[in-house]
Structure 1
Amino acid sequence: MNRGLGTQLRHLIELLDGAVADSYARAGLAYRPRYTPVMRALIAQEPLTIGQIARQAGMTQPAATQTVALMVKEGLVSAEAGDADGRQRLVRLTGQGRSLLPRLQACWRATQHAANALDAELPYPLSKVLAEAIAALERHPFAERISEQTTLTS
């Protein structure tokens, strides 16, 4: 059976995220892979607003909002109203979140080595193909491409 692009991408994410989640569990961490972009943004600079996290992490604002809410519940980050604008939430690592960093960074290094090994095994590095696909879709969104094809076939 010929799988569609969406099906292939979901399966790839399942394979990658499942393995990364397992590596966190083996390291004794109760931590989800989806937290990593937020953690990395906060390591680089804090506090950050949800919008800043979304931009720095390369995720949508709703995804950043949902992820930060989960991380607050787990005690990894705090989110308090900003001084200038009470509607903005300033997000910071908590002591608990900060205490995980050495073990997380070790997991991230292992994950990066595994990703490099995967790239070396493929005829085209997956990381490069994904970066190029993202750039192409930012230039010409997929919704526009679908719309153009619908117009051509009508």
Structure 2
Amino acid sequence: MSAPIHPETRIGHVHLKVADLDRALGFYCGVLGFRLMQRYGSQAAFVSAGGYHHHIGLNTWESAGGQPPPPGTTGLYHLAILYPARAALADALQRLNAAGIPLDGASDHGVSEALYLRDPDGNGVELYRDRPEAEWPRDASGDLAMTTRRLDLADLLGSAV
């Protein structure tokens, strides 16, 4: 077995194929609130939270006017966007509600609270916040014991600032 990956390694960004760049920017910037960092005409754009060069790349290089992949094929299951606090996740839910974007699900995993939805191109999107590690559920031997329960959306919205 090889040595484990360096513990400070992180996923830096995700790059998505989209059918319509303006529509994708309307969702990621207009609804979720990411900032457009750079755009290459109608072919590609890079968006960010907090001024990073990009967290999400969007392109139409191989997908302009395309359809989402059919069920039963391999590919991206979802991208996950980590919010820094419960109030920020509640804000995201308010944005989705205001835009009329339905959720596919909402779960409390013990370690995190998550909202699941689809972007305009059918890509799975998870919006979530982690609980502090000291609150993570553990079994009798101390191993992580994640769960999946229904997330109380009214309670989450009550956390909005």
Identify, as 1 or 2, the structure richer in helix: 1
**TM-score category of the 2 structures, normalised to the smaller one:** under 0.3
TM superposition score normalised by structure 2: 0.25
Which structure would you say has the larger RCO, counting Cα contacts within 8 Å and 6 or more residues apart?
2
Bigger Rg, structure 1 or 2: 1
TM superposition score normalised by structure 1: 0.26
Identify, as 1 or 2, the structure richer in strand: 2
